[in-house]
Amino acid sequence: NAGVTQTPKFQVLKTGQSMTLQCAQDMNHEYMSWYRQDPGMGLRLIHYSVGAGITDQGEVPNGYNVSRSTTEDFPLRLLSAAPSQTSVYFCASSYGTGRTDTQYFGPGTRLTVL
C-alpha cells in the first residue's frame, strides 16, 4: 500500500490564483481530513469527510473548498490564494470514525503564496 499520498510536494502561488491540492489513500479508509500546520500553532483542521459525498467544516475552513466523490480521493481547493494561506498542508485518513481511530498522515504539501 502507498498509504496517503499528496501532490504536489511544493507549490508557489501568486495572490489571487487558485489551485487544488491532491490527496489520495489506498487503504479503503472511511474518514479523510485536511490540516494546516503553521509555526507555533500545531495542526488545525480545515475540512473533513466521513465518506464519499459527505464533507464538513473544521476549525479554519474559510478560503478552502473540498469534495469527496470517491472513497480514495479528497482534494482541497484554494479559491483565491492569500499570503495568510502560506502553510504546510497535511491530508490524513482513518479506517473509521471512532474517537480512538488512528489517523494516517500524508507527507505534506508546502505552499507559499506571494
Binding site for another protein (CB under 8 A): 4, 31-33, 35, 40-45, 48, 50, 58, 90, 92, 94, 97-103, 105-108
Q: Give which of 70, 63, 60, 67 is closest to 29, Cα–Cα.
A: 70
Q: Which residue has the cell 502553510?
A: 87
Alpha carbons 15 and 47: distance in angstroms, whole number: 22
State which residue, 31 or 78, has the beta carbon closest to another protein. 31
**Residue 94 Cβ, how far from another protein at the closest point, in Å?**
6
Q: Which is nearer to another protein, 30 or 85 (CB)?
A: 30
